[in-house]
Amino acid sequence: MKAKLLGTLAASVALSVLAAGGAFAQQGTPKEGGRANVVIQPEPPGLMVGILQNAPTQMVAGNIYEGLLRYDEKLQPKPQLAKSWTISEDGKTYTFKLQPGVKWHDGKPFTAADVVFSADVFLRKTNPRTRASLAYVESITAPDDETVVFQLKQPFGPFIRMFEVGTMPMVPKHIYEGTDFLTNPANNTPIGTGPFKFGEWVKGSYIKLVKNKDYYEKGKPHLDEIYWHIIPDAAARAVAFETGKVDILPGGSVENFDIPRLAKTKNACITDKGWEFFAPQSWLWFNHRGGLTADPRFRKAVSYAIDRNFALDVLWNGMGAVSDGPFAQSTSFRDDKAVVKYPYDPAKAKALLKEMGYKGEPVRFTPMPYGETWLRWAEAIKQNLEDVGIKVEMVNTDVAGWNKKLGDWDFDISITFLYQYGDPALGVSRAYISSNIAKGSPFNNVGGYSNPEVDKLFAEGAVGFPDSERQKAYSAVQKKLTEDAVYDWLIDLKFPTLTHCNVKNLITTGIGVNDGFKDAWIE
């Protein structure tokens, strides 16, 4: 299999070069008008992003709704519905000044009362991820129509990263107050403040967004409309790009092995920018509860056995970076000097297995059934493990079965990827802290790793102030987690976005396509 996969390597290197382009730079003088044709996969279950957190929902609705802030590729906050903000010296008071003259899509004015309602009422009820972070908030008040004050119970360092559209979207108080949020008819015809309005949704075919001509940022958006095409078959999505039916394939739209070919088609451009805020990281779960994977020598042997560079270059087209610790490349407080690294070294793997007296007992490996790329990667990992003498029993299943097996802790090794949301308190700690060991979900601490010192360090890192105190805690936790080889961190993933080269200025923030169309234009 290795020889077959290596056949794409040359193309992968070329993709890396293309990806190095400055996707965040302003590209020329915008041309007004036109339509962007985009693939959305799968069809979202709805577009009310305050209720639904599915990736396709966020991708479409992020151009209808808005948050108070956006974030650049360094995850630094930028104005959106808030034009400015201040943080008190004790880290407990956040004061936002809102943009003047903003209107909802139905013409009603957007005011501070909408912010208070969205954060303190609506999202506390509908959004579990946001609700968990809002637990640090004592009060949310509106001294006047253009000012909002969040008063925290104690400093919470990542709080300033909570205001992007997918985490804290603003919803209209005059539409939702006093109603059943989940059944409100406006969920089907979303009303935001964003650069595009909801136009039409023909189920199974397309979602149409139209230009908001009253948008408060003068001169934007440039496009007249966006058509999100719903095309269930991966091969058909690739053909749609080749034939010009669609202009944009957001990350994950087509199988990775198709990307080198598509990137070489006429007028194709590619970038791996626009995933910095999400920072998806892949790793091997180890079940710490017993068996071979409870022995740190076995976990370290596996870590030395895996050829991450091969997977990055061949299976992921060179997009992303090899992981060497629990904090992804773009996640805050990453400390390269603190981590213990496990580079590809089959000899060290074999020595550790010999030291622990490994006699060839089989280990159950449950691949993640998210498509052909992930299944090929699982086969490569199996080959790496067998090369050092580890006997592997593959346990293949469908998505529902994978969810259940991990949620029930019925595995030895599995593969996954999770978003880190820019800060370890928002997207990293959940996989390692003892309080997040709970049956039923594949996205918490399913490995069952439990270490009071690690729990304490993550807790200190979440509320430390100033950031230098957070860094101390997080450097220590990275050292401890890698010393224990808690999991085998594989690749900090970047899902390439393919466009026709006449699509300009699409990726302008750390969430990429999800809020990119207000800046985009077609040459």
Question: At 385, which CATH number?
Answer: 3.10.105.10
Q: Are residues 355 and 295 located together in one domain of the fold?
A: yes
Q: Are residues 89 and 126 located together in one domain of the fold?
A: yes
Is pLDDT above 80 for 135? yes
Judge whether 278 and 417 are in contact, CB under 8 Å: no
Is pLDDT above 80 for 335? yes
Report the percent of the chain where pLDDT is more than 70: 95
- Per-residue confidence band for 26, with pLDDT thresholds at 50, 70 and 90: low
- Provide the pLDDT for residue 270: 93
Q: Are residues 505 and 464 located together in one domain of the fold?
A: no
Judge whether 438 and 405 are in contact, CB under 8 Å: no
Judge whether 282 and 516 are in contact, CB under 8 Å: no
Q: Are residues 289 and 164 located together in one domain of the fold?
A: no
Q: Are residues 40 and 173 located together in one domain of the fold?
A: no
What is the number of structural domains in the chain?
Answer: 3
pTM above threshold 0.85: no
- Provide the pLDDT for residue 317: 81
- Provide the pLDDT for residue 478: 98
Question: At 81, which CATH number?
Answer: 3.90.76.10
- Provide the pLDDT for residue 426: 87
Q: Are residues 56 and 110 located together in one domain of the fold?
A: no
- Provide the pLDDT for residue 409: 96
- Per-residue confidence band for 330, with pLDDT thresholds at 50, 70 and 90: confident
Q: Are residues 344 and 392 located together in one domain of the fold?
A: yes
Going by C-alpha positions, the residue among 352, 370, 362, 454 that lies closest to residue 415 is 370
| φ, ψ at 437 (rounded to 5°) | -90, 105
Q: Is residue 406 part of a domain?
A: yes
Q: Are residues 56 and 69 located together in one domain of the fold?
A: no
The average pLDDT across 120-133 equals: 86
- Per-residue confidence band for 25, with pLDDT thresholds at 50, 70 and 90: low
Which H or E run includes 285?
strand 281-286
The average pLDDT across 62-74 equals: 95
Average predicted confidence (pLDDT) for the chain: 91
Is pLDDT above 60 for 23? no
- Identify the domain containing residue 169 by its residue range: 65-180
